[in-house]
Amino acid sequence: MEAESYNRLSQQDPSGGATVSHPSSERKNFDVFLSLGGKDVRYTFTGNLFNALRSKRIKTLFREHEYEPDDDTNISPSALKAIQTSKISIVVFSPEYASSSKRLDELVAILECRMRTNQLVWPIFYGVEPTDVRFQRGRYEQAINRFEERYYSPERMNKWRAALAEVSNLSGWFYQKGHKYEYKFIRKIVEAAVQCLSRYDVFLSFCGEDTRYTLTGFLYNALRREGFKIFMDDEELEGGNQISQKLMGAIESSRVSIVVFSENYGYSTWFHHESIERIVERLINIEDEEAYNNSFPCSNDSYGEQ
């Protein structure tokens, strides 16, 4: 079952290597890919950050299993696909981060994606100085030295060093235990993600003259009262009009579309175009999300539970 889900998620990336292969055309189905720092933060900081992001309806993905220090296999196609299809990668650097060669390969893949698609990459330095990451000092130096002793290829080692230096120069966050409340620190990160991921929870599709001031209007107000962000267009389109870029963007950035069918709904060919476009996109989203969540059971509704 696990192999099947990996294959489904990676069907557009047959290489299976550490290179991201789909630059600008890759559909961004997920909001955040959370690259874990290691066992030292999985069940504490990273778990709390994951839950905080999910509580704001931010679609967040992360590995259910931990990379072991001796695991030298390639990054799975599903992990590469998850990186490719996320709008933001958040990398949590903890003291144990560099202990895994696979985790360092993942960092290289994230930065390759950033270079090719301008994906946002946010480093979080949790209990480790950014300069220690940049110059591989302390625990990071020890980890790199161990890999050198195991005769890792110079090319691979150079990629790791370059990636650590590059990511530590990006804008991010630094947290030192005992100097501030962790929940306030997490809240700042979540607020930044919410602001960056400006999109809608619900797209309301309807025929204005039929239901704007009755059913659809009442539904819009009820959803707003519950805190949902709604797109309800004000364009009155005549038959044959084409969908605008504004409305296409709203469709693509909405989690759910509610279609209110009324007597005159199908009068404009635009409405058919709109409905078909959204239905197709949603089916693609569901397929990719289910495949990834089958590979990483914890990434859907809860943290640390099967």
CA pair distance 65, 8, nearest whole angstrom: 19
Residue 83 Cα to chain centre, angstroms = 7
DSSP class of residue 63? -
The full length of the chain comes to: 306
Helices assigned H by DSSP within the chain: 2-9, 39-41, 47-55, 77-84, 101-117, 130-134, 139-149, 154-167, 182-196, 208-211, 215-225, 245-252, 269-295
Asked if 217 contacts 164 with a C-beta cutoff of 8 angstroms, the reply is no
Catalogue the active-site residues.
106
Q: Work out the burial of residue 172: count CB atoms within 10 Å of its CB; fewer than 13 is exposed, 13-18 middle, 19 or more buried.
A: middle
Letter for the amino acid at 129? E
Contacts of 168 (CB under 8 A, 6+ apart): 93, 123, 125, 130, 131, 133, 134
